[in-house]
Amino acid sequence: MATSETKMTPMPYSMRLTILAVIVSEHTLLFMIPTFVAYMMQGFLEKEYTADELKSQISYHSGRMEGINGMASFVGCLLWGVVSDKIGRKYGMIIVLSGMIVASLGFGLAPSFEVALFWRCIAGLMAGVVPISKALVQDVSDSTNVAILYSYLGAGYGVGSILGPLIGGTLAHPEKYSDSLKGTFLEEYPYFLPQFIHSCIALTAMLMIIINVPYKKPTPPKKSANIFDLRHNYNYLISLAVFMLIVVVQFGYRISMALWVKVDSKDEGLGWTTEDKAGYMNSASGVLVTAYHLGLVPVFAKKFGIIKSCILFIIQLLPVVLLISFTYMLDTISMWTLLIIFNALSIVGSTAFISFISMAVANSVDPAIVGAVMGVTQSVIAFIRGVTIASFGALFGWSQTWDMFFPFDVHFSFLMVAVVLLLNWFVIKMWLDPSVEKRFVAKPEEIPMLEKKQDE
């Protein structure tokens, strides 16, 4: 971490904005799909099941589809992280963004659950944006400015959390805005328009990569830098365990929220029947998330470091996940106010935590294999994400069939998220070593990308 006595190495704004655009393209999709996935499943399944069966089947199929996407992402992240070490970050990023564009358009044109499942699987196999982005950050930064670039990674998450729900919530089923659209292509494929807009965002990010990221010829890793030695790297393994637990929190909360808002108010949900309300809530929360990351993540990095910051974010998250599912009891204004604030605090806490634990992961390994390491890490995270979404989706569906008292009802999955948070706190306090605060310092010749291209 940079100290007050250390002068920060300048970071070109063209590079900062490119990192931002790439992450926005990834997280816009991640936030957009939960906005309408339950409604999409309802459209696919309502003719196959009775009204009583439909509620649990929507939860099951939503979790199944996104869970399989996560499983495919396990392969994709590992593959593209390693490939980027072989062909360079620039070309690796161009390939995965191209795949993202095609998969997004295909998903928007899906006429059935099976076709939608196929395209989400393809999207998972092309999931290399995050590991390549983090490897790129390591390539172009040093210990004085790495937190700056990670703040843009987090801000990209925030911008995606604004755009994704807004695009998904307002542009899905566009025929609801005008009778002239009824019976048209956009009514037949009600989710094509938001997916098309996302593809345009990804295309913009790809063009920025082409223009702003200079090509760096990959260099063979040192003999001492072996990815298979990670199984003996204590700091890496503990950092990975902490990372895995916060991802369970992040996606367990996200799928629980996506399903809970649709539950009827008499069953202690919000009873939202359309996508737009969830979109407005998440987008309003995203404004706070973006400002927080750009303004405070570098400050936290400098003042508290990695470990203390992670603990502070856990303290922030605990009351949020325990209380948000009780906001249905409030009047409209109070409910919306707390929903937006709580949701923002949840997103901020989990994403900022991920930024810091990603630094710990990078600080645990030799820079010569950072692309492969980030690929391995994101593969594991993708697997955990898939398992979490499928598990919490099923758990939420089951909780609706239990017909039991609190906490064995719609609040149960949120309670389980809180339990995982406490477990993560314990792991950090007991086993995360303070040495992860310091990164490997690359030699000047190992980070030539900034020297080759200066910001205009």
| Euclidean distance between CA atoms 50 and 47, whole angstroms | 8
- In this prediction the pTM is 0.76
Inside any domain, residue 63:
yes
User: Please, are residues 261 and 270 in contact by the beta-carbon 8 Å criterion?
Assistant: yes
The domain total for the chain is 1
pLDDT digits (tens, 9 = 90+) for 214-252: 887 766 655 556 677 788 889 999 999 999 999 999 999
* Rounded distance between C-alpha atoms, residue 242 and residue 364, angstroms: 13
CATH number reported for the structural domain that contains residue 339 in this entry: 1.20.1250.20
Taking all residues of the chain, what is their mean pLDDT, rounded to a whole number?
Answer: 85
Instruction: Report if residue 455 sits inside a domain.
Output: no
Task: Report the range of poorest mean pLDDT among 5-9, 57-61, 144-148, 366-370.
Answer: 5-9
Measured CA to CA, the distance from residue 181 to residue 174 in angstroms comes to 7
Query: In the structure, how many helices (H) and strands (E) does the chain have?
Result: 15, 0
- Of 259-273, 370-384, 415-429, 441-455, which range is least confident? 441-455
| Other beta carbons less than 10 A from residue 379's beta carbon | 22
Predicted pLDDT of residue 448:
44
Give the number of other CB atoms < 10 A from CB of residue 441: 9
For 396-436, the DSSP string reads: HHHHHHH---TTSSTTHHHHHHHHHHHHHHHHHHHH--GGG
Is residue 228 within 8 A of residue 376, CB to CB? The reply is no
Integer-rounded Cα radius of gyration of the chain: 21
Could you read off the pLDDT of 156-171 as tens digits, one per residue? 888 887 888 889 888 9
Report the alpha-carbon distance of residue 84 to residue 375 in Å, rounded.
Answer: 9
Report, in this order, helix, strand and coil percent for the chain, each rounded to 5.
80, 0, 20
Could you give the 3-state DSSP secondary structure of residue 275? coil
Letter for the amino acid at 386? G
Whether residue 382 is contained in a domain is answered as yes
pLDDT for residue 445 is more than 50: no
- Torsion on CA atoms 272, 276, 277, 283, rounded to nearest 10: 150
The pLDDT, as a whole number, for residue 313 is 95
Per-residue pLDDT averaged across 393-410, rounded? Answer: 79
Residue 247 lies in a domain: yes
Taking phi first (over 0 means left), then psi (-120 to 50 degrees means alpha), and beta for anything else, what does residue 216 get? beta
Share of the chain above pLDDT 70, in %: 92
Identify whether the C-beta of residue 195 lies closer than 8 Å to the C-beta of residue 105.
yes
Task: Quote the crossing angle between the two packed helices 89-108 and 192-212, to the nearest 10°.
Answer: 170
Residue 3 lies in a domain: no
For 283, residues 6+ apart whose C-beta sits below 8 A from its C-beta are: 161, 162, 163, 165, 166, 169
Share of the chain above pLDDT 90, in %: 35
CA distances from 312 to 243, 308, 435 (A): 15, 6, 19
Q: Does residue 75 sit within a domain?
A: yes
Work out the angle between the directed axes of helices 234-260 and 13-45 (0-180°, nearest 10). 50
Kindly report which listed range (11-20, 138-147, 155-164, 199-208) carries the lowest average pLDDT score: 138-147
In a domain, 453, yes or no: no
Q: What are the tens digits of pLDDT across the range 33-65? A: 878 888 888 888 888 887 777 877 887 888 788
Q: Which two tokens stand for residue 248?
A: 């369970």
Q: In terms of Cα–Cα distance, which of 426, 246, 271, 242 is closest to 321?
A: 246
Non-local (6+) Cβ contacts of 105 within 8 A are 192, 195, 196, 199
* Cα–Cα nearest to 307, from 242, 364, 245: 242
Q: What are phi and psi of 28, to 5 degrees?
A: -60, -45
Domain limits at 162? 13-215+230-436
- Predicted pLDDT of residue 109: 94
Alpha carbons 433 and 431: distance in angstroms, whole number: 6
Amino acid in position 35: T
In a domain, 442, yes or no: no
